[in-house]
Amino acid sequence: MLPQDPFAYALSSNQAWAGYKGHQNPEFFNKLAAGQSPSILWLGCSDSRCPETTILGLQPGDVFTHRNIANIVSPTDINTSAVIEYAVAHIKVKHVVLCGHTSCGGAAAALSDARVGGVLDTWLTPLRALRAAHRDELDAIADDKARAARIAELNVEAGVAVLMANATIREHVEDRGLQVHGTLFDIASGRVRDLGFGTSKGAKMGADTGGAGIAGGGGGGEVVRGRHARLVFRTDGAAMQVQ
């Protein structure tokens, strides 16, 4: 028996998903079609293992998203700038989350002396510049995976610095308390860790809660609601609560 074509399987899976969601909540798609009002802008990597809505346990309509190779934020990239301006100034998201991740192919490429080829070498130039700027620290890390994770953290730190210098973001941080978070997704554990960059100094997004990572409430804070769960941002961190 021949294996099913991946695209045909994806379409079939979509039909099943749409049917399930419609049965579960008959108004779900009507509400989605009426408009969007997400609270989070997610700037992440294009890596297939890092789907933001799944990672956060949220639903379609909860997260406005921009992803590229190695989650690089460049001030001259009009694509990223357009997403930021629309999400921040027009949709008025309350959180901007820049998320890197472990086992990143872009990070590994930046740590290698070999060329990738084509436009990718140009795109990864900021990561290679980070490698050069932090060569002593990175070369002192013996484990390849740990070294790649460290440059991924440095990349998030650099990206958050660009975000905090963005005129639209600066304006909305000052005028309405927009929050900017620099985070790292650990693929091996499924956890997102706040690196402490941006406006949320010391917050711990996805901190260990024991077991499945679904925490109880406690303390005041903003609630970003999904259809089955809610992500609660508090001054002492963030937690996922089942509804």
Query: What residues are labeled active site?
Result: 45, 47, 49, 101, 104
Give the contacts of 90 (CB within 8 A, at least 6 positions apart).
Answer: none
CA angle 194–199–204, rounded 5-degree value: 25
Structure tokens at 119: 């436009």
d(CA 20, CA 33): 17
Q: Which amino acid is at 87?
A: A
d(CA 156, CA 153): 5
CA-only gyration radius of the chain, Å: 19
For 170, counting Cβ atoms within 10 Å of its Cβ (0-12 exposed, 13-18 middle, 19+ buried), the class is middle
| E runs forming strands in 20-162 | 40-45, 63-68, 95-101
d(CA 167, CA 75): 10
Q: At which residue do the structure tokens 């070369």 appear? A: 139
Closest to 156 in 3D by CA, of 180, 187, 189, 121: 180
What is the Cβ-side half-sphere exposure of residue 37, based on CA atoms within 13 angstroms? 5
**Residue 242 DSSP label:** E
